[in-house]
């Protein structure tokens, strides 16, 4: 019989292990976000195809989200998370090979596998809620999301040192920072295998079986309407974030070349992109514990609405100040903050609105929907920006934000 004290001890250990794993796993994500669009544009020779890099990351996560969730339901979180790390390791190797051979389809295949690994990283935040107390779900989930900050921010900032190291060992241009990603992913894989014991999902399943006759009614009730709104708010925030973020490296590259008469130094462009994306990724993760605590205290739906308002502010900066470097930086910081608030509160709301027997399945569906929307948004973003420029992309993305705000009443949870 698992006591409450045992459950709390296991939960503390689980959150710590998941947080460390997120630090390591975030390095590959941050590097791919920064380099993917530039590598795709360089190898394909067409800026319009640069959005396919971000689309491939999210497509890989979308394809693997449901299978990984089902795998976790059957075998536990630990095997599922380590499988995601393995996918990412293989993907990084393929990206480096594709850059050396300059084969665009092979590059996309490698990025898809990195995205499959990111599906495991996304699953980590739900793993933090498996045995969390209801009043602390938002907090525990957000701590794991916050831990991604160190890895995801360092990924873009390691571009310069990575290139220097890559040149020393003869790696293809713009791939040096993936050396750090390889080491980090391998360390995360070993960490989960050794330290994520006992498996939190296995413990949660055992707790449900032990307490089947005395579970609180509020924990058994399923609210599909609320769950659907939670999925929509997560997917909507993600498609807005990915669409704008995917085109920002190309937009900044165009701005830099225009400012230097069409002859900007490639190193300067890479540094500008890395700096901007690092601030964006910091916005995505750095304040997630604040949004988690707010979601626990204010309510999940209120924090989702707050996130959508911040997203709207981000799009306003992109529209009105998108041709100025500081305007783009502010837009990207707000874009990350809005995404963080909406997805942290949305994930907590989805967990709370789903009966225990349905949670893992719905979590997988939510991650898959989110990633498919992000992939589609990244592809469409390239087409939209080619026709309507950066400001037009922001204006079109605002439609999704308005829809999430209008539908917010659907996410209200009745008080216990």
Q: Are 178 and 89 in contact (CB under 8 A)?
A: no
| pLDDT score of 220 | 56
Tell me which residues of the chain have a pLDDT lower than 70. Answer: 1-2, 28-34, 48, 51, 151-153, 155-156, 211-220, 259-268, 414-416
What residue ranges do the domains of the chain occupy? 4-201+216-411
Alpha carbons 15 and 131: distance in angstroms, whole number: 10
| DSSP per-residue string spanning 337-398 | HHHHHHHHHHHHHHHHHS-HHHHHHHHHHHHHHHHHHHHHHHHHHHHHHHHHHHHHHHHHHH
| pLDDT score of 274 | 75
| pLDDT score of 217 | 43
Q: Are 21 and 124 in contact (CB under 8 A)?
A: yes
Give the residue among 307, 301, 314, 272 at the shortest CA–CA distance from 287.
Answer: 307
| pLDDT score of 215 | 46
| pLDDT score of 81 | 94
Q: What class does CATH assign to 4-201+216-411?
A: mainly alpha
Give the residue among 233, 240, 230, 248 at the shortest CA–CA distance from 374.
Answer: 240
pLDDT in tens, 143-181: 998 887 776 667 667 777 877 887 888 778 777 778 888
| pLDDT score of 267 | 64
pLDDT in tens, 364-380: 999 999 988 888 888 88
| pLDDT score of 371 | 85
Q: Tokens 């080619």 sit at which residue?
A: 386
| DSSP per-residue string spanning 180-244 | HHHHHHHHHHHHHHHH--S-HHHHHHHHHHHTTTT--HHHH---HHHHHHHHHHHHHHHHHHHHH
The pTM score is 0.80
| pLDDT score of 342 | 97
């Amino acid at each position: 019989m698992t006591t409450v004290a045992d459950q709390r001890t296991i939960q503390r250990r689980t959150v710590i292990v998941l947080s460390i794993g997120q630090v390591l796993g975030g390095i590959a994500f941050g590097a791919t976000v920064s380099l993917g669009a530039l590598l795709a544009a360089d190898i394909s020779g067409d800026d319009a195809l640069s959005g396919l890099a971000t689309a491939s990351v999210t497509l890989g996560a979308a394809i693997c989200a449901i299978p990984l969730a089902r795998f976790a339901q059957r075998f536990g979180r630990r095997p599922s998370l380590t499988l995601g790390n393995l996918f990412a390791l293989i993907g990084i190797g393929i990206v480096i090979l594709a850059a050396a051979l300059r084969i665009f389809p092979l590059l996309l295949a490698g990025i898809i596998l990195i995205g499959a690994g990111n599906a495991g990283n996304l699953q980590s935040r739900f793993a933090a809620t498996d045995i969390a107390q209801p009043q602390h779900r938002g907090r525990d989930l957000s701590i794991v999301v916050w831990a991604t900050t160190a890895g995801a921010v360092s990924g873009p900032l390691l571009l310069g040192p990575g290139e220097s190291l890559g040149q020393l060992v003869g790696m293809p241009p713009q791939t040096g920072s993936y050396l750090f990603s390889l080491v980090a992913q391998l360390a995360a894989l070993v960490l989960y295998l050794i330290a994520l014991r006992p498996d939190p999902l296995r413990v949660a399943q055992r707790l449900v079986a032990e307490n089947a006759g005395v579970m609180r009614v509020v924990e058994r009730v399923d609210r599909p309407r609320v769950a659907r709104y939670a999925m929509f708010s997560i997917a909507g925030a993600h498609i807005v974030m990915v669409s704008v973020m995917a085109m920002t490296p190309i937009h900044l590259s165009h701005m830099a070349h225009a400012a230097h008469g069409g002859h900007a130094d490639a190193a300067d462009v890479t540094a500008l992109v890395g700096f901007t994306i690092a601030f964006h990724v910091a916005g995505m993760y750095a304040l997630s514990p604040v949004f988690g605590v707010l979601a626990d205290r204010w309510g999940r739906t209120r924090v989702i609405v707050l996130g959508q308002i911040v997203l709207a502010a981000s799009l306003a900066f992109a529209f009105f100040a998108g041709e100025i470097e500081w305007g783009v930086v502010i837009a990207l910081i707000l874009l990350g903050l809005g995404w963080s608030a909406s997805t942290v509160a949305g994930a907590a709301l989805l967990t709370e609105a789903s009966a225990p027997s349905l949670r893992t399945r719905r979590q997988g569906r939510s991650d898959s929907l989110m990633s498919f929307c992000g992939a589609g948004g990244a592809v469409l973003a390239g087409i939209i920006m080619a026709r309507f420029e950066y400001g037009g992309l922001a204006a079109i993305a605002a439609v999704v934000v308005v829809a999430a705000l209008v539908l917010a009443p659907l996410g209200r949870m009745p008080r216990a």
